Amino acid sequence: MLTQKVKFTLGQDESLVSDSTHNQYVEVDIYERLPVPFGLVRFGVAPDHPEVKNVINTFTQTAKHSRCSFYGNVNVGKDVSIDELQQAYHAVVLSYGAEGNRSIGVPGEGLAGVYSAKDFVGWYNGLPNCRELSPDLSCETAVILGQGNVALDVARILLSPIDSLKKTDITQPALEALAQSQVRRVLIVGRRGPMQIACTIKELREMVNLPGTRPEMVATDFEGVAEALKDVPRPRKRLTELMLKTALEKPGEKEQERRNKASRIWGFRFFRSPIEVLADPNHNKIAGIRLAVNKLEGSGEGAQAVLTGEEEDVPCGLVVSSIGYKSLSIDPSVPFDSRKAIVPNIMGRVQQAAGLYCSGWLKTGPTGVIATTMNNSFDTARSLMEDMDSGTLDLSAAKPGSQSISALLEKRGVKPVTFSDWEKIDNVEMMRGEASGKPREKLLKVEEMLQDFSVNAGH
Amino acid sequence: MATSAAVRSSMGLTLRLSRVIPDCSTCSLYRLRSCVNSAANLQRTGSADSFRTINRHLQTSIGLYHSEEGSSNAEDPEDVVNVVYIDRSGQRIPVKAKVGDNVLYLAHKHGIELEGACEASLACSTCHVYVNAAHFDKLPEPEEREDDMLDMAAMLQENSRLGCQIILTPELDGIELTLPKVTRNFYVDGHVPKPH
């Protein structure tokens, strides 16, 4: 009997579980630090993108397979070690994603009013350790560093009409804070130019069509862009054309009217790198951000930003840094490349570590949408199955699997949350949401999630 | 007011737990946003209506699910559409389908490894397929939202479409849909897993 452990974030090796005609009889146990599953699908995908979250149904089917077990509320690295897992299982797959973030690396970064996008998104999505972020939304202008989809999510949530947010699974505290928000202008800043922007067209279109807002761009940022579009692949071309249209084209009458009535503004600023966050001398918080002006060397995806020596100060009261997530090392025994912030691997097989695999962002770095990460995980699963078939993975001895791990956890006073426990939490959240017309009202504290929600538990 | 709302809520939970109210997440109508009894609608009706609605829902969903699936004893030959899926290892899998079938759910029915993460709501690109030249132009133009999602698919080609947006018509008889080789590995023995 083969048993293995997968740490469940978004990537999941469901093909291992569902492949019932494979020679070996595979059992998969999933260990997750939080009591609730699904990782970024629950805590990263924006509240106003519920269709993206449909993939939860696929994950749920997998988790409920007879040979798959979920153990939430287990902190691998603290409650149980990788070494202990490797002793209990034939194979261990590390799939714990990228929970750290890249720091900006400039003076003033620690001032009140500067947040990482990871924390800001965690705050509005109910990640327990971001509950007390309490971002100050009393300023008029917010600057977002970075121009990927996460940056656009943050901009959109900051500027969306409250009436549309009210019907989503955004947390109640975030909804209340946004209802009082004074933020009216959001600048989304990138080091390079329009042709290097990292977001995708769906998110850009959502900003262009966001009710109550109008775009504010710098026309000179787009010099030479239209001419460079001729031989560019379709996705980049369509994205750039939409940006050009929004930035440069004179709008039709109806659109002009809509823009005139708009009370909120958003815009891209290109060729700008942060060099310092400026403090308000009277209060210990941010007053603005100093940006270096860049020019581009080279073109296309490989173009480099080079300093010109010019600088620019932008007054603002909120900075959200959205320059990338970063994986952390889980255990010193696991090889870790701290430069790339991934676990070194070939096709998901961890180098110099028999029986150890990795998938998802931990394997390739923190970029990619669901399709990318899904295929990445399927690749790891296939490497694992190849190793089972070829004998590279030693299956000759039976392994105790969850029996021994559960005993260890019990001795250490750790109580795992099962998938059916999660289903009770799920029901409680959905019921609470019904009262206010939301798909769910998320529980925000781990202690709340660990409550006994059985029907006859006296509620 | 508050009391009756609380009673309705707790009745709802009891009915769901004892499975009188079906689990919507597994129904294709709900997934395709075609369900008339979705939560949003149920909320707007009063408590008495909820009970009538539940019964109607049970009949409607089961009835329509069968016809959407397409029964294998499809009586009308003019209704038959022949489809060939070419899977990621190059294997040709011929399928007899019906007019109105959805290419993604048809693939699932026949164990073809085409993922549909967002369940046909144009929020992902996991059902990306290549359409053979002879039939590509017979498909209606993709809407902008489909093009936006296609832009994110790996190995995009001129003849790329999202499987969940292709509904079979008589003139698509003989259509061939190739699954892109988006992973760097396939099964060693050419085995294809059943989708879940």
DSSP, collapsed to helix, strand or coil, labels residue A5 as strand
- Contact at CB, A371 and B152, closer than 8 angstroms: yes
The pairing of strands B128-131 and B175-178 is antiparallel
Q: Which range, of A181-190, A387-396, B157-166, averages the lowest pLDDT? A: A387-396
The pairing of strands A285-297 and A304-315 is antiparallel
The position carrying tokens 């093009």 is B147
Which of A17, A243, A367, A382 is the best mutation test for B, with the most CBs of B within 10 A?
A: A382
Question: Is-contact A86 A93, C-beta < 8 A?
Answer: no
- Contact at CB, B182 and A370, closer than 8 angstroms: no
Give the residue among A203, A173, A177 at the shortest CA–CA distance from A188: A203
Reported confidence tier of residue A457, pLDDT bands at 50, 70, 90:
low
Q: % helix / strand / coil in chain B, to the nearest 5?
A: 40, 15, 45
Average pLDDT, chain A: 92
Amino acid at A350: V
What are A4's strand-pairing partners? Answer: A28, A91
CA distance A363 to chain B (A): 14
Is CATH 3.10.20.30 correct for B78-176? yes
What are A80's strand-pairing partners? Answer: A76
**CA A29 to CA A3: how far, in whole Å?**
7
Phi, psi angle pair for A285, to nearest 5°:
-145, 180
The DSSP code sequence of A424-440 is HHHHHHHHHHHHTTSS-
Tell me what pLDDT residue B1 has: 44
Residues B56-104: pLDDT tens digits?
333 333 333 444 444 445 557 779 999 999 999 999 999 999 999 999 9
Structure-block tokens of residue A334: 């696991």
Reported confidence tier of residue A428, pLDDT bands at 50, 70, 90:
very high
Reported confidence tier of residue A370, pLDDT bands at 50, 70, 90:
confident
DSSP, collapsed to helix, strand or coil, labels residue A360 as coil
Model confidence at A166: pLDDT above 90 = yes
Q: Which range, of A155-169, A171-185, A259-273, A386-400, averages the lowest pLDDT? A: A386-400
What is the strand order of the sheet A26-31 is part of? A68-71, A26-31, A2-7, A91-94, A356-358, A349-350, A345-346
Sign of CA dihedral A225, A199, B156, B160: negative
Structure-block tokens of residue A163: 């009436």
CA distance A55 to chain B (A): 5
For B184, nearest residue in chain A (alpha carbons): A379
Reported confidence tier of residue A400, pLDDT bands at 50, 70, 90:
very high
ipTM of the complex: 0.90
Q: What does pTM read for this prediction?
A: 0.85
Q: Taking the CB of residue A189, how many other CB atoms lie within 10 A of it?
A: 23
> pLDDT under 50 in chain B at which residues?
1-21, 39-72, 186-196
**CA A338 to CA A345: how far, in whole Å?**
13
Residues A71-80: pLDDT tens digits?
999 999 999 9
- Contact at CB, A434 and B149, closer than 8 angstroms: no
**CA A228 to CA A230: how far, in whole Å?**
6
Which of A169, A234, A386 is the best mutation test for B, with the most CBs of B within 10 A?
A: A234
Residue ranges of domains in chain B? 78-176
Model confidence at A167: pLDDT above 80 = yes
Residue A192 assigned as binding residue: yes
Residues A14-28: pLDDT tens digits?
444 444 334 457 899
